Amino acid sequence: MEDVSKRLSLPMDIRLPPEFLQKLEMESPEISKPPSRMSRRASLSDIGFGKMETYDKMDKLGEGTYATVFKGRSKLTRNLVALKEIRLEHEEGAPCTAIREVSLLKNLKHANIVTLHDIIHTKCSLTLVFEYLDSDLKQYLDNCGNLMSMYNVKLLRGLSYCHRHKILHRDLKPQNLLINGKGELKLADFGLARAKSVPTKTYSNEVVTLWYRPPDVLLGSTEYSTPIDMWGVGCIHYEMVTGRPMFPGSTIKEELHLIFRLLGTPTEDSWPGISSNEEFKAYNFAQYRIQPLINHAPRQVNVPIGSLLGVVDYKWKTKIPVLPLSLEKPAQCLEVFNSHRPSHYHTRLKTKDS
């Protein structure tokens, strides 16, 4: 059974159905010979993958425009899973967000990225089977107010992996960071994620939840890269250590107003080219001076709030981002630091030991 699990790249805790093992024994396949894609797909179907009856549906966890998420249990492993049931319209088929999420997550394997276990396609729905984590960062912050920034290290590790594989998440927010009692954190909901091309192409500016969307995208920019996610990291880090959102605007104008009131209204010196931006000119914002960030985070104690200024300011496109200093080990800090540096910085920074 162990040889079969390895041969088919199955989880080691899987309980293979007796009828499948019996069929395998009768066929007497050559264990050393790797299976073809077609035979592996047939074997997985025989085991129970791709079938709704393999999972027990339990409590409803949440519902959105296109999908409903249920808590479930796999009959193969007896482990809890999350069942994301996406409704299929007869004429439109599967939403593009679901297709995008599946195609990206199949190739993203990392401890800080949620695992996609299975895909079930029926006439009425497409169900994505994910590993189960019992909470998210938003629920934790609502219940506890704030938390230590150990989660920020895990967020950066997962995001660094995405960016190294040329994937932009484009929807970082506490609700999309799943956590559990073991202290694990995993990036989830890749429905808005995109594989970024080289050289940079233009993308949609209707991405990222409003509170975590950078000002250039709020002002209509469709040319962006990894800094779109790093702005969200800065906002989430602030929220972790203060217990409240950094820029909780209800409209694009209000969101920009909150950003400018804290970081100062941009000028040609702080943001070259801003004076020619038509949307910026149309809003006619008052002239604000930059405010000391520490004044807005009175509960901040040991984590330097100034470290946020590398990711939450107007020069993120032209400078090396200064990541939060909660990455206590230099090697960890520099790993993420180097992976997010702009392409025109060719020299990697090194620790004294490297």
H or E element that contains 58: strand 55-63
- Cross-sheet strand order for the sheet of 125-131: 55-63, 67-74, 80-87, 125-131, 116-121
Residue 191: name the closest of 220, 224, 210, 167 by CA.
Answer: 167
Q: How far is CA 117 from the centre of its chain?
A: 17
> Are the C-beta atoms of residues 299 and 241 closer than 8 Å to each other?
yes
Three-state secondary structure call for residue 86: strand
Positions of E strands within 175-241:
177-179, 185-187, 194-195
Which of 118, 136, 171, 229 does the annotation list as catalytic?
A: 171
H or E element that contains 81: strand 80-87
> Are the C-beta atoms of residues 90 and 72 closer than 8 Å to each other?
no
Distance, in Å, from the CA atom of 126 to the CA atom of 118, rounded to the nearest integer, reads 11
How big is the chain, counted in residues? 354
Distance, in Å, from the CA atom of 312 to the CA atom of 292, rounded to the nearest integer, reads 13
59 is catalytic: no
Report the catalytic residues: 171
